Structure 1
Amino acid sequence: MRTLAQILIAEERRADRDSAPPSRAAFRVCEKLRAPLCTFAGAAGFRSLLSRALVLARVDAPLLAGVQIKADGTFLYSPEMEAQSASAEAAQAGAALVDQLLGLLITFIGEALTLRLVHDVWPQTALKDPKSTGK
């Protein structure tokens, strides 16, 4: 899933028109997954899944201690995280979060459904045909 996470983050960076820090692309990936996952699991289910991904990602990326998840599933950044958002460490932290979120999705709903969901959100970029991945 690390490769898929990197592909999605790269797509969000390409789509960024306001030159936001690279770490923001990873958080946008999570935010784009919010709508379909809320439809699938409800807002509380999405928040729970994202919260677990954040806890798991903090093991490898302590900078994520400066990120909280609000009740609606959106992010709240500490001033420290805001100040470091342009750093390579912040970009790696965001990638760890996306990787964990995708991994949890695979655990709970399976790889095929996860890839279908990703394909629905990023139809031109993530996967041309999720059934053809052979995974």
Structure 2
Amino acid sequence: MIGQLANLNWISIAIAFVAYFILGALWFTLLFKKQYLISLGKENEPEQKPAPIFIIGPAICSLFITITTAILMYVLKIDSYQSTIELALVVGIGYLVANTVNIAINPNIPKPIFYGLISGSYHLLGIFIVCLVLFAMK
């Protein structure tokens, strides 16, 4: 599978990554900021400037997710929008949402299901965008 790296459309990966990352920025700072803070139990804390790791870390993870998805699309020979949507659902629900909820179920997150709903739905929408961009530019 790693051999597919040479076959990937790196421009489509860059565009899909930027879209995924911007969606995250909007999701957690504009669209669902209050709900996200509630899910973390931080709704009453004063607003702080995020440390660089809270920006760079998600960017790197989003890039890895995007590249991995591009590899899967080539290896699985995704050749239609229907297959693209199916891949987005499998990866989105089977890995991203499930892992997000699993990570949330710990004593440090007071509302794990709410957190899973907010963050998981971001990842599900994000992977749909990634898959659609990658397929459209394949």
**TM-score of the two chains, using structure 2 as the length reference:** 0.32
Structure with larger RCO (C-alpha < 8 A, sep 6+):
2
Compare CA radii of gyration and give the structure with the larger one.
Answer: 2
Q: Which has the higher strand share?
A: 1
